[in-house]
């Protein structure tokens, strides 16, 4: 059973200025590029060629299943809806999520899980599994490269109908798994609004 997301009201997970950039990573990723603004959006269901390298991506997964929201280190990250902390972990591999949080939410009896990746250690230290969270309350902060998996500061936000068995979700998938993944991991704009 799927959720009718239009029936509910949500909080933004990052308070964005009006002039944020919408990134295009279809032709690759340059971590040293000059940013037009400190804030930006990385798209859902975007095929990102040559972006994911290293031992986590030997299977050549490159289609993004969440939305990235870039901002300065320490930018607060908020809960999009009432729920509870499902689990937390430090995913320590290079180009992994770093400090990660998954929250659990119920909509008309349907469970939905939300992953917040690339957070700071402070985020991890200040939250406990089982803890109740309210829409619009701070649940973490964007981490720096040394703690967020080695990425420019941002939060990876991803939704899942499937209950995670560990504090992880495949942030990128292979083309052969795309249709199944689109069903399992809905477009985060259904709760974040029309960011692009």
pLDDT digits (tens, 9 = 90+) for 19-61: 999 999 998 777 788 888 999 999 999 999 877 777 667 667 8
Q: Write down the pTM of the prediction.
A: 0.95
Is 86 within 8 Å of 104 (Cβ atoms)? yes
The pLDDT value recorded for residue 58 is: 62
pLDDT average, residue stretch 138-164: 97
User: Could you state, in order of their start, the residue ranges of all structural domains in the chain?
Assistant: 5-192
- Whether the pLDDT of residue 182 is over 80: the answer is yes
The pLDDT value recorded for residue 49 is: 84
User: CA angle, 55 as apex, 54 and 56 as ends, to 5°?
Assistant: 95
- Whether the pLDDT of residue 81 is over 70: the answer is yes
Question: Does the 5-192 domain belong in CATH 2.70.70.10?
Answer: yes
């Amino acid at each position: 059973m799927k959720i009718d997301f239009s029936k509910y009201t949500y909080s933004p997970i990052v308070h964005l200025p009006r002039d944020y950039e919408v990134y295009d990573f279809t032709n690759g990723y340059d971590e040293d590029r000059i940013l037009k603004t400190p804030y930006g959006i990385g798209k859902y269901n975007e095929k990102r060629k040559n972006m994911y390298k290293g031992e986590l991506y030997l299977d050549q997964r490159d289609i993004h299943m969440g939305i990235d929201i870039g901002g300065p280190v320490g930018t607060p990250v908020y809960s999009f809806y009432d729920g509870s902390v499902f689990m937390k972990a430090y995913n320590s591999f290079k180009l992994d999520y770093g400090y990660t949080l998954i929250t659990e939410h119920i909509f008309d009896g349907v469970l939905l899980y939300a992953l917040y990746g690339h957070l700071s250690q402070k985020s991890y230290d200040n939250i406990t599994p089982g803890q109740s969270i309210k829409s619009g309350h701070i649940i973490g902060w964007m981490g720096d490269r040394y703690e967020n998996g080695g990425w420019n500061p941002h939060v990876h936000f991803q939704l899942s109908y499937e209950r995670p068995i560990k504090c992880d979700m495949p942030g990128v998938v292979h083309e052969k798994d795309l249709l199944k993944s689109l069903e399992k991991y809905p477009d985060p704009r259904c709760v974040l609004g029309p960011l692009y």
